[in-house]
Amino acid sequence: MEKEYLNLVYGELVRLSQDKNLFASVLSAVEDVYLRVEAAVSEAAGAANLAFECQRGCCLCCPPNVGVELFEILPLVASLNEGPTEVFADALEAAQREDTVGPGRISFAKMFLETSKEMPHCFLLDEEKACGIYNQRPLACRLHVSTSVAVCRQEKRPQFTPKFAADLDSRVKKIVDDFAASGHHLLTGLGGTMYRMLTYNPQQRRFGLNFFGQEIIFTRP
Ligand code: SF4
Ligand code: SF4
């Protein structure tokens, strides 16, 4: 990745963290992406005549290493800064005692990899094993649907047809392309695993985005 491009993206992220109106418009655009994706899932399922067995608390499909696009981290950080789930707050407290790295920052990578040995599930599940950030859950989670919870349980992967997957892929690509074309291209095309892209500053009690080692904090306007 070219340094010049990364500097551009970094500049845009800093601008968003400082300009509340701009940040509000990005949050609204991301919400629109998610609404359109939900509609796309329903339409693609309808076209393929599929019925999904997904339901609240069915956490077999929630691994600790969910991949996210850069724009997806923004509502997530803002939402976590309004208060993480009890489970997550406890994990953070334990991590603060054991593993604080850098200038007062917690190493999520180490924390979550260790946690995943005992409980191979996403750190954002709440105490009822339901998604603790449901409205802000990333695309990967919204697209992870299955016609058989039994298959998920046995094979650790969801069940759907390749035709449905291809149809959904092209619908979602169009939605993300539209988002990029509406002035947000710097927020697409870069991403990583959720736990590597999040930071937590225990002194400030703030979550942030870890952008190649630079911490940027976002709060909801
Ligand atoms: S994809 Fe499978 S494990 Fe995940 S919610 Fe749906 S049925 Fe449950
Ligand atoms: S963000 Fe929510 S839906 Fe996605 S893996 Fe984590 S707990 Fe599951």
Judged by its nearest atom, the ligand closest to the C-alpha of residue 132 is 2
Q: In this structure, what token pair is assigned to residue 68?
A: 């996210």
pLDDT of residue 31 exceeding 80: yes
How far, in Å, is the centroid of ligand 2 from the Cα of 219?
21
How far, in Å, is the centroid of ligand 2 from the Cα of 2?
31
Instruction: Give me the residue spans of the domains in the chain.
Output: 3-216
Judged by its nearest atom, the ligand closest to the C-alpha of residue 57 is 1
183 three-state secondary structure? helix
191 three-state secondary structure? strand
How far, in Å, is the centroid of ligand 1 from the Cα of 60?
6
**What angle (nearest 5°) sits at the alpha carbon of residue 128, between those of residues 28 and 204?**
55
- CA-nearest of 115, 116, 95, 114 to 106 is 95
Does 137 sit in the ligand 2 pocket, CB within 6 Å? yes
Q: What is the pLDDT of residues 54-97, one digit of tens each?
A: 888 887 788 777 889 999 999 999 998 998 777 777 766 666 65
What mean pLDDT, rounded, does the chain reach?
84
Position 101 scores a pLDDT of 47
Position 161 scores a pLDDT of 82
